[in-house]
Structure 1
Amino acid sequence: MAKTFYLYLLASGPCGYLCVGVTNDIARRVAEHKSGMVPGYTAERGIDQLVWYEAHQYIDQAILREKRIKRWLREWKFALVEKDNPRWLDLYGEVRASAEPGSAAPTGPDVI
């Protein structure tokens, strides 16, 4: 079975602080942010709401897109979220419901 890699945007709330990341298990990674297992910038600012994500077949594609989005202006990132998620809803429930059993449980540092 082919692995899927996810590029994601977390936010502290509508038009709040943002964080861009890549993972191979989005449900687990967001659960780690929500539980406070990821110290630093995101934990200090309460950035734990999944507001946008996209799937990639290849890790290099996901990382390249992540690097591009990190260079974007803040307003461009807001527009990206608002195109697919205009109410800035937390999409964690959506990805958790579609995740493999047990994958949403935080287990330790993410290797990706």
Structure 2
Amino acid sequence: MPRRCATRNDLMKPGYVYIMTNKNNTTLYVGVTSDLERRVKEHKSKKDPKSFTARYNLNKLVYHEAHQMIGDAIAREKQLKAGNRAKKMALIESINPEWQDLIIGDE
């Protein structure tokens, strides 16, 4: 199903930036969504078996931040993706030093 273009109304909705990892914290994935709980459940259930998160078994939410507008979340996602691994790790450890799963959902 083709994705539709975002409307001005869509960009006014809240959004979340998040980081997922695997059991050994070796691979990081930065994403953005308007519904964090739903999106994390999709990652954990491997809704799209060919996706990056499914292929690398990224099923732990280790970081997230909320934004009032999804456009701001998208800009922050781009900023985080442009950063190196050390910066992402420091960000995670600033709120989650044990790298615990922040959403424990149905597996």
Deviation at 1:15, TM superposition (A): 3.4
Distance change in 2, residues 1:8/1:55 (3 Å) = same
How large is the RMSD of aligned CA atoms in angstroms? 1.8
Q: Unaligned stretches of 5+ in structure 1?
A: 97-103, 105-112
Work out which of the residue numbers 74, 80, 92 in structure 2 matches 1:69: 80
Distance 2:14 2:64 in 1: 12
Q: Aligned residue pairs: how many?
A: 94
Tell me what 2:3 maps to: none
Moved over 4 A (4+): none
Correspondence 1:79 to 2:86 = no
> Which segment drifts farther, 25-34 or 38-47?
38-47
If the length of structure 1 is used for normalisation, what is the TM-score? 0.77
Over residues 50-109 of structure 1, what are the superposed CA-to-partner deviations in whole Å (9 max), with x where a residue is unaligned?
00000001111100000010010101101100010000000013xx6xxxxxxx9xxxxx
Over residues 2-36 of structure 1, what are the superposed CA-to-partner deviations in whole Å (9 max), with x where a residue is unaligned?
84211000011353101111111111100001101
Tell me what 1:32 maps to: 42
Work out which of the residue numbers 15, 18, 27 in structure 2 matches 1:17: 27
